[in-house]
Amino acid sequence: MAEVIIPIGPQHPALKEPVNFRVIADGEKIVRLELTLAYTHRGIEKAAESRDFIRVLPLLERVCGICSHSHATVFAKGIEEIMQVEIPPRAQYIRTIIAELERMHSHLLWLGVAGHEIGFNTLFMWTWRDREAVQDTLEEMSGNRVHYNMNEVGGVRCDLSPSQVRAALARLPLLEERLKKYVAMLEEEETMLLRFKGVGKMTRHEALAYGAVGPTARASGVACDARHEDPYCVYAEIPWDVVTDTNGDVYGRTCVRIGELRESAKIVRYCLEHLPEGEIRVPAPKVAPTGECLSRYEAPRGELVHFIRTNGTDKVERLDIRTPTLANWTSVAMCLAGQHLADIPVIVAAIDPCLSCTSRLTVLDNSTGTGGMITFDELRRRNRARWQEEERT
């Protein structure tokens, strides 16, 4: 049977970063998936070798526009580990506050995207409107809505004034109230229940075998969280829980992310209320001794890993970044097998792909030998049509 390529260009109608899949399909069912990524490959690892520790942090922040603080923090703490520099407690708390606020904005963003993927645009508007409260807090604290540039090797750059802490605490009750609504929605909202349950299911054994990380793995019952396995900042000292679920499908991943939103709100509240006094930075040496470090961090999408090697200068010898989306791609490829073609946007969105962190949908239809242009919008329409058909029968 001739294989026909149906491309979806890297230019999408909404939201997504450029990516190209090749899906080998049999009618409406997917047989296999092949990946072509990295339209956003820019050569950052090479550039990091020629920038000193001050200049490299803004570059690393811009690896990704959603988890920018993750990259900066994991690098800074890796260099601090090699230099054997302990940053003051206040700096640790501030890093944690920004990290959890980033997780909140990222998960709210994702919730909106997931709603958009199933045609539930009201959820998109609601979550992004609530997200603006988090963005305002971040802008007050750091000066920018994204790319906060809070980190430096040796601590943080900006302190939090008492009025900023008060303003942030004043916004939390609104967010906590809205989160209760989203939790209720998970149990009651028919659209979400029907379109998320049973889609993209992955068992615990599969999640481990495919190397899934983050909420994708935690939804299948794998309790892997870099904040718990390799504690950094203040996660070993403050009360918080790893959120897992046993569903293993897109619904489970939604539950995990909403649970993590509530945990993050709790962590932010605790850290703001218990912010210790003191310095926000210690003087760090300009050059790092020769050494090596594998720095791990729990980004909103999963475990982010920086392998850093230094050589006695003020630049790194080698920086190897492994982003959580790269780790999750294999699991996407595997759990798409046997699913409906029209479920692709939902399943791909469920791992919360951050392609700029990592780097067009091509469908080969084995059975009919036909092909044509197919957009994500078309797939969403087919998904809705299929759901309506199932509801009627």
Closest separation in Å from C-beta 115 to another protein: 12
Using the structure block, give the residue that is written with the tokens 């230019």: 11
Closer residue to another protein, CB minimum distance, 17 or 260: 17
Distance CA 216, CA 212 (A): 6
Sign of CA dihedral 148, 242, 301, 193: negative
Closer residue to another protein, CB minimum distance, 25 or 305: 305
Task: Please list the helix, strand and coil fractions of the chain in percent, rounded to the nearest 5, in that order.
Answer: 50, 15, 35
Closer residue to another protein, CB minimum distance, 182 or 329: 329
Q: 24 forms bridges with which residues in the sheet?
A: 32, 364
Closest separation in Å from C-beta 123 to another protein: 12
Residues that bind another protein (CB under 8 A): 9-15, 17-18, 34-47, 58-59, 62-66, 68, 109, 124-125, 128-129, 132, 145-147, 208-211, 223-224, 228-230, 294, 296, 303, 305, 307, 309, 317-318, 320, 322, 326-327, 329-330, 334, 354-356, 359, 375, 377
Contacts 24+ apart (CB under 8 A), 7-15: 7/360, 7/361, 7/362, 7/373, 8/360, 8/361, 8/362, 8/373, 8/374, 8/375, 8/376, 9/360, 10/39, 10/360, 12/375, 12/376, 13/375, 13/376, 13/377, 14/116, 15/113, 15/116
Which of 90, 93, 89, 126 has the alpha carbon at shortest distance from 269? 93
Calculated CA dihedral for residues 353, 223, 231, 355, nearest 10 degrees: -10
Closest separation in Å from C-beta 59 to another protein: 5
Residue 176: other Cβ atoms inside 10 A: 14
Strands, E assignment, 215-260:
none
Tokens of 377: 């919008």
Closer residue to another protein, CB minimum distance, 27 or 211: 211
Closest separation in Å from C-beta 279 to another protein: 26
Distance CA 245, CA 216 (A): 10
Sign of CA dihedral 174, 175, 177, 182: positive
Closer residue to another protein, CB minimum distance, 65 or 198: 65
Closest separation in Å from C-beta 340 to another protein: 22
Closer residue to another protein, CB minimum distance, 269 or 380: 380
Cβ atoms 265, 175 nearer than 8 A: yes
101: three-class secondary structure by DSSP: helix
Closer residue to another protein, CB minimum distance, 57 or 271: 57
- Chain-centroid distance of CA 358 in Å reads 11
Closest separation in Å from C-beta 13 to another protein: 3
Closest separation in Å from C-beta 166 to another protein: 23
Tokens of 313: 């200068």
Closest separation in Å from C-beta 351 to another protein: 13
Closer residue to another protein, CB minimum distance, 195 or 227: 227
Closer residue to another protein, CB minimum distance, 36 or 161: 36
Closest separation in Å from C-beta 271 to another protein: 24
Query: For the chain, what is the radius of gyration of the CA atoms?
Result: 21
Closer residue to another protein, CB minimum distance, 164 or 375: 375
